[in-house]
Amino acid sequence: MKMAQRIATASLFLAFFLPARSYGAASEWVTSPGGDFRIVASQPKPDGAIPAILEVRLNPGWKTYWRDPGASGIPPQVTLDPSGGVSLQSIRFPVPKTFGEGPGRYTGYDVPVAFPLTLKRTGNGGDVTIRASVFLGICEDICIPVQGDVTVALKSGEFDNPLDGARIEKAFSALPEQPSENFRVVNAKFDAAAGMVRLEFLLPPDAAAGSADLFLAGPPGVFFGKPVFHGAQGAERRADVPVKLSGKDKNIAGKPITLTLRAGSRSMETMLAFD
């Protein structure tokens, strides 16, 4: 009897210091024939940043797209209702894969994927509500546009679901790393006559013996073809990437270009700027 009383007392004592419930910071899933999506978010940080992801759960055989999806794809798009007290600053992308050849070539993902979101609280404190309209393409043989509205309420003082926090941390840790001394672009120039971006880059020692994948993405009106690599091994590599420009402007000077490079198990991302 005394032992049971001690256990009951200890349980009450522990419950006093633990949250009464764990609050999930995730929207409901929006479903489609090829997969589902939702937004997962954590409580705002002291600086107003809100860790969040757009989580896409693909059905087997289906794919979704990268920031530059190719000729006929649809990149993920998130639009926030400003009345919720949250602004969207950017969508970030893990390194993709390439699918198809020729005009049908595109870049994306064929497994469930999470896109980290850079969100910011616009008010001075208190509750915030993420009201988002999400638009993306999910494809099997053809691309199907998928649109849905989701809501995530973040009430001040409530506790996050630790599983949601782990999902967010995993997505951010999967992003490409920053350039480093032995994993970086050495030289980049635009050859207007040839219609090529010519690149020289270094691969890290642990990936120098293998192949590399290269992905470029620019603003609207700038399209990139399949990279042509020169040299199959070694840390120092070169590649030429065909460029097609729509409209009258036939130069990429001043246009921001995102480069993502994968080598072995590592990936790197940087911005290119051409004079």
d(CA 230, CA 262): 16
Distances (CA, A) of 125 to 42, 50, 67: 14, 12, 32
Q: What is the pLDDT of residue 209?
A: 82
168 phi and psi angles, rounded to 5 deg: -65, -45
Q: What is the pLDDT of residue 126?
A: 81
d(CA 148, CA 132): 8
37 phi and psi angles, rounded to 5 deg: -145, 160
205 phi and psi angles, rounded to 5 deg: -55, -35
Q: What is the pLDDT of residue 2?
A: 41
Question: For the chain, which residues score pLDDT lower than 50?
Answer: 1-24
83 phi and psi angles, rounded to 5 deg: -65, -15
Q: Which domains does the chain have, with CATH numbers?
A: 30-174 (2.60.40.1250), 184-274 (2.60.40.10)
- Quick check: 174 and 266 in contact, CB under 8 A? no
d(CA 242, CA 262): 19
Q: What is the pLDDT of residue 152?
A: 95
DSSP state of 39: E
Q: What is the pLDDT of residue 245?
A: 86
Q: What is the pLDDT of residue 9?
A: 34
Structure tokens at 140: 């099997």
Q: What is the pLDDT of residue 55?
A: 98
pLDDT tens profile 140-172: 988 889 999 999 999 887 767 888 989 999 999
Structure tokens at 107: 């870049």
Q: What is the pLDDT of residue 161?
A: 80
DSSP state of 43: P
d(CA 159, CA 24): 8
Q: What is the pLDDT of residue 125?
A: 76
Strand order in the sheet with 212-217: 212-217, 257-263, 266-272
- Quick check: 127 and 155 in contact, CB under 8 A? yes
Q: Quick count: other Cβ atoms within 10 Å of Cβ 45?
A: 11
d(CA 169, CA 113): 13
Q: What is the pLDDT of residue 143?
A: 85
Place of tokens 């050849």: 101
Helices (H) and strands (E) in the chain, counts: 2, 19
pLDDT tens profile 233-264: 789 999 999 998 887 777 788 889 999 999 99
Q: Quick count: other Cβ atoms within 10 Å of Cβ 208?
A: 17
Nearest to 25 by CA among 3, 5, 44, 6: 44
